[in-house]
Each structure stands twice: as C-alpha cells, then as structure tokens.
Chains A and B, each alone.
Chain A
C-alpha cells in the first residue's frame, strides 16, 4: 500500500509530514532539517535544483532562480505587474485579461503551478527516500493533502491542486493552513472551546476562529490577506539598506546597457539574505547588525518595530472582522494559537496578546504545525477514522454579475463547506438558446472590485418565448473550497452544457500536458535519480570553483589571502572530482564533492566578501 502524506506548501519553506501510530511527524533529511526552501533554480544545462541548493544559487545565479512563487498562484499576468520590483527572475504573461503568469528562468518559461509542482516533487522524493530507508516495501507517495492559506480564492486553490497533479500526486484534499494547525494543536490538548488561529507566514496572513467540540473542529469564520507576510518586512529592510548606499531596489536594466553592479540580482539577494538574518536576530536581541560585505548598520528592536508597525497593524482589521462574523467578542475566545515563522517577532506576539487579551500559545513549532495537521487530515481520509472531523468555511462570498455591473451574492462568506447555492436565469429575447454567466468571488458591491473566477456559457436552452425558460444554475463548493457548476432548464428538465473558461488558470488539457511533459513521469528508478542529483551537485561545485580560479582578481587573492598550498590543494581535489564524475558510484562522487566544497570554503568567503563590498561601493566586480 503506497503512502499518504500531508504537505505544507509555503511561501518561504515547505514541509512534508506523515502519521505513524496516530502521531504526526515531520519528515527530515539526514541532517535533521525538515524545511525545504520553496525555491527552484534552473541551471544553465537545464538541471533543476529545489530547496537548499536552489537557495544557494540565489547568490550565484539569481536570474535563474525563483522564490515566493506562492504569491503568483492563481493570479493573472496584469495583476502581478507591480510585484516584479524586488524579484530577480523574469515575469511575463499572456496578454489581455485572464493571461496566465509566466516565470522565465534562463531560456525556459514556467507557470506558477509548474514551479510549485517542482517543490512538491522534491517533497515527494524526500518522503519516498525516508520510507524506503525505513524498509517500507512500497515507499511510493502518490497521494497528499496540501494546505493553502484560508483566504485563498477559488483560482488560487485550483492552481494549487493543479500543481499537485503536475507533480504526479493525487490531491486528497486542499485544506486551510490555520485549520490544519488547529488539528495538530487540538490533537494532544483535547480541549474544547473557542480557538483563534493567527497565522502570519512568509507571504500570507490568515485568521480563523474555530469551535472545537466532540472532536469536531468547526471553523466559524475566517479572514486574512493573501499579500501580507515576512516577505514584506524583508523588503522594508532591504529598502533601508539600499537607501543608505544611495540607490533604489530594482531589477537590472532591461536595455542593452550594463546594469550598475549594485543592482545585480546577486547583490540584491545578498542583501536580502543579510536582512533576513537581522530580522531573526531582532526576535532574540535588543539590537542587531545588518552585515553585507563591508557594509554595517546597527538597528535596535524599537527602530525595527516602528518600521514594521504598519504591517503588523494590517493584521488586526481582519481579526476584528473574523470575530464579528463569528458573532464573538475578543474576550470570549478561550485560546489563541500562533502559526507561521513571522509570529516569532515579539511585536506580533504583543499585538495579538493585546487584541485578544490573553497570552497566545507558542509551544508548538510555528513552522511545522501546519504540515503536521495536513498529515492528520490525510490519515483521517485514508484510515476512515472518525475520531476527528474538520468543518471548514468558504472565505469569500460567491456570486454572479447582474444588471448594472453589480455582484449578486449566492453563497455567503463563512458558509460551512460543502455548500450549494442556486440562481434562476431566463432569456431576454425570443428563442434565445444561450446565456452568459460571469462568476465572481469577493465582498464588494461592484463586479470590477471583486475577483473574476470564470465565465460560463449556458447552452442548449430549448427555444421559447422570452422570459419563459427557467434555467436553474447550481453552484457547488466542495470540501476543498473549489467551485463547480451545473444547470437545468426546469420546464423541460433539459440538462445544460456549460463551457468553463477559468478567468486565470490552466485548462484540464494544459495540466494534462504538463504532467506528461514532466521528466519525472518517465523516471522510475529512484537510485538513478539520486545518482543524477549527485552528479549535478558535483558539476555545480566544479563550475563554481573553475569560475573562481579564472576570476581576474584570483591571482591577487591567491597572493594576499590564501594560505601557502591552498591553491594547489583546491586544484588537486578539483581534478580528482572531475575524474570520478562519471562513475556510477554515488557515494564516491559525494565524497569528492564534499572534499572540494571544504577545500574552497575559505576562497569562496573571500571572493563573496569582495564582490559584495564592491557592489555596495558602486564599482564593477571585474574592476576589483
């Protein structure tokens, strides 16, 4: 029997977890690391790196590396124009409304679900390697529960499900992150009562209010902001650094002219890495330093807090709205649970404590609790255990466009799912056989202020005088929060055909093609894959080393900063690794790769320091 897992597909990091003997566990790599950075990098030869290796490549090959792709899931090309400001990768899209976002890495283009699929596949492999190492006869992982922010709309959920399918996973269920967290939390607590889950992650914010009773986790209301998280804090700090060194943060010039060195994507990523470290430090210390190359900037926690205060305040209005929708006062909430890495920030904790009038829970690891909950849900679905039940809601109202560009709501927000709603349509002229229907999601009055989900054409209405047909259109939101539509003419009982054109997203055929395209599909042999990975890793290190040895500044560095014999040592390990590169013994390749990594560590530090300080002082790297 193949295995099922729970996956937290995060903006910054992703995790995979499974249930063993009723207890959920995060699956870790050999070094004990459970987090897979949600980063994908495409090397020049087309090799795809995911996770830590891709994260390293942000500093050496930023333009071929993508992070925070979750922000683009289910979005239209014209919606994300403003987003490109601080990202190293190219974003384009099909022209016109409804155009799908495309991310350019080298000479290849990917849709956001394809990038997410690469991350999911990495998690799948991690889990399979783990189960194989456990001695499982059938370690294949082909089914998963995947989490999404509670405030994700239909298009974003559908894009996530597509990503799962492209990765070769049957998506058992899409569940909401705060709800998943409450499952993991409720597991060992056996508490009943009202729980608020405050989830501030890398890119998204959610608040959910739940009632837990008799093992039923019933969401009463949810709210949030799918564009608010730790990423925004990083950008604030990055802007501060760039202000100091006298330039704004941006993509390199697109014309023929050479981009100024400061704006090289690698330098920007070096700054990003540094400010993230500073942000982490400030959760522990009263004062920390931003260090990028020679640049130093001290920042106190109170300075930091006044910088991020407006962002933290933006989480409070959704909290109040969720309470109002649940018909509760803040004081009625029994417990508050913190989820997401950004809730480690002391200011966030204080703001939450103040709003709810109680100290929030933080004993569970905020990075892991969502994946654990997803694993619990996967286990419920597969095992048939009826101990617990999750009842979630739809975060946004669903409706259709009516006369005058106004949205008429059919299913209200915070309705428990699955939910249905129906609407009657008729014809406007004699013998009309088709009606156009525009489906929307959102809370605003006017169509243009809400999110367009799809346009339907109802066909096959029997010819009748105007106003005579009675076409009942039924909207069904399933337990994943995903919409489907059916229609029937009531006088004739004729079932209508519906052509669905999702406003932003992939058609079934496109998903199917991507699935077939994926190299994964043909590749059955797990060991072969590991060997390829080991070779790729070795090639990366060889290339980086050769590049360093060829750099104009190398001879100067060799003289001034390297120890006697250091260069010779590097050269000999390098040729050794090249010799074993085509061996079929993975461990030998890995051994030599590690040796070359060790031999060049000092050189890499020296070079990185030089290039960053050069970048920050405005000189071209090659002039150093």
Chain B
C-alpha cells in the first residue's frame, strides 16, 4: 500500500490512484489534474536529460490521443475539464522537454536548483565570462561611436561580425560541456545515485546550473550583437 501522498483521488468514483496514471483504475474515467508528477513522470520518462527525440514524439502523440478535448466533446463537464487540464499539461511538458536547453532548465527547477527568476539569473555577469563581456562592451561602444560618426555600414558591420566570433565559439564550447554534464547526470540516475547520493547529485547539478547560466548569458550577448547588426 502506497502512502497517501503518492495518491490522487478520482472525482468520479472517489477511488484512489497513483499520481502518474491518467485514468482512474476503478472507473476508468479521465482524472482531473490534481496531484501530479513532474513533466518527466507525466510522460513516463526517467528524470534524465538524454531523451530520444522520436520516442518523445511517440509518447506525445500517444497521450494526445488519450486526452485531447476533441475526444471528450460529449463527456461530462468534469471529464471535459480534466481533458483540457491534462492536454495543456502534456503540451507544456512536451514543449519543455523537446529542447535540450529548456530540458536542463526544467530539471534544475524540479531538483530545486533554479534561480528564483530568469531576470535575476541574467542580470549579473557570470564570473567566468567577465573578461569576454568587458572586451565586447568596449568593442560595442567603439562601434556605436563609429556608426554615430557616419561610418559606412560595411565598416562597422564587419567589426561586429569579428566581435561575434569568440562569443560564438564560447557558446559552442558551453553547449558541448553541457552535453557532457548531462551525460554525467544521466549516469547518476542510472546508478541510483541521483537519489541515493545527494552530494554527488548536487555536485553534478550545480555544475550543470553554472554552465547553463553562462550559456544563457552568452546567447543574450549574441542576441545583442544581432540587434546591433540589424540597425
């Protein structure tokens, strides 16, 4: 017998059901989205960062076929509501887990390591990037001066392109590193250490978080250069 915390209650028949099932085991009605697992559990996936794209698509399509409001048009209002809630949650889960970067962000969040708000995270310059950011800002100031002084676009645009080079290289390196760290996390999950050995788990997650925040900072820098280029 599982503890009550792992149960959700069917509003149709009052029966109990494990949190990760979508239909009541007793009356087989769709369950309202009360207590539920995280995106990984909802899709029936382990909490790992390596996700096979085609497998995810199949799970998404399969669950869509079970929940979608189209199939509950003639059902009771409670079932229609449950179908809308489960479909919305499924779509949000699918969208989040589809991209490797949003997947990492979500994992950090459910493991309790996410910054309180994304704005907070992007405001301060990660220490590892101080040098690059300083150099880039100087370069951008000079380019803006050039532009204000009426320099032809070819001149300042090529300088912008050059300035982008090292940042772009950093981004590629960071994403490669994130992949490596993701594999490390997945190995911990496979060995049971992600739950059994919290110290090892936290170490892996903190490394992921730091690289992830740096990588976000880098993409913001690149977006800033893009904006300058389109002026």
Contact = CB atoms under 8 A, between A and B. Distances in A.
A511 interface: no
A175 to B, nearest CB: 10
Nearest to A216: B61
B92 A419 contact: yes
B29 interface: no
Interface string B72-114: 0110000000001001110110110000000000000000000
Given A415-B95, A418-B87, A389 B68 contact: yes
B88 A419 contact: yes
Interface residues on A, range: 20 to 34
Nearest to B58: A214
B88 A391 contact: no
Given A214-B61, A391-B64, A381 B70 contact: yes
A566 interface: no
10 contacts: A380-B70, A382-B73, A386-B71, A389-B70, A390-B70, A391-B64, A415-B95, A419-B88, A420-B89, A476-B84
Contacts of B92: 415, 419-420
B65 interface: yes
B88 A216 contact: no
A416 interface: yes
Contact of B91 (A216, A389, A419): A419
Contacts of A377: 70
A479 interface: yes
Interface of A: 172-173, 213-214, 216, 218, 377, 380-382, 384, 386, 389-391, 415-420, 476, 478-479
A416 B93 CA distance: 11
Given A216-B61, A218-B61, A418-B84, A478 B69 contact: yes
B224 to A, nearest CB: 13
Nearest to B227: A445
Which of the listed residues B71, B89, B94 has the most CB atoms from chain A within 10 Å of its own CB?
Answer: B71
Main secondary structure, interface of B, reads helix
Contacts, number: 56
A510 B61 CA distance: 40
Given A415-B95, A420-B88, A384 B74 contact: yes
Given A384-B74, A389-B65, A478-B69, A416 B84 contact: no
Interface of B: 57, 61, 64-65, 68-71, 73-74, 84, 87-89, 91-92, 94-95
Most B-side CB within 10 Å, residue of A389, A415, A416:
A416
B73 A416 contact: no
Contacts of B61: 213-214, 216, 218
Given A416-B91, A420-B88, A476-B88, A216 B71 contact: no
Contacts of A415: 91-92, 95
Contacts of B89: 420
A390 B71 CA distance: 11
9 interchain residue pairs of minimum CB distance:
A416-B91, A418-B88, A381-B73, A420-B88, A216-B61, A479-B69, A418-B87, A419-B91, A418-B84
Contacts of B88: 418-420, 476
B216 to A, nearest CB: 16
Contacts of A478: 69, 84
Contacts of A173: 70
A491 B57 CA distance: 38
Contacts of A213: 57, 61
Contacts of A420: 88-89, 92
Nearest to B95: A415
Contacts of A416: 91, 94-95
B73 A172 contact: yes
B73 A391 contact: no
A467 to B, nearest CB: 14
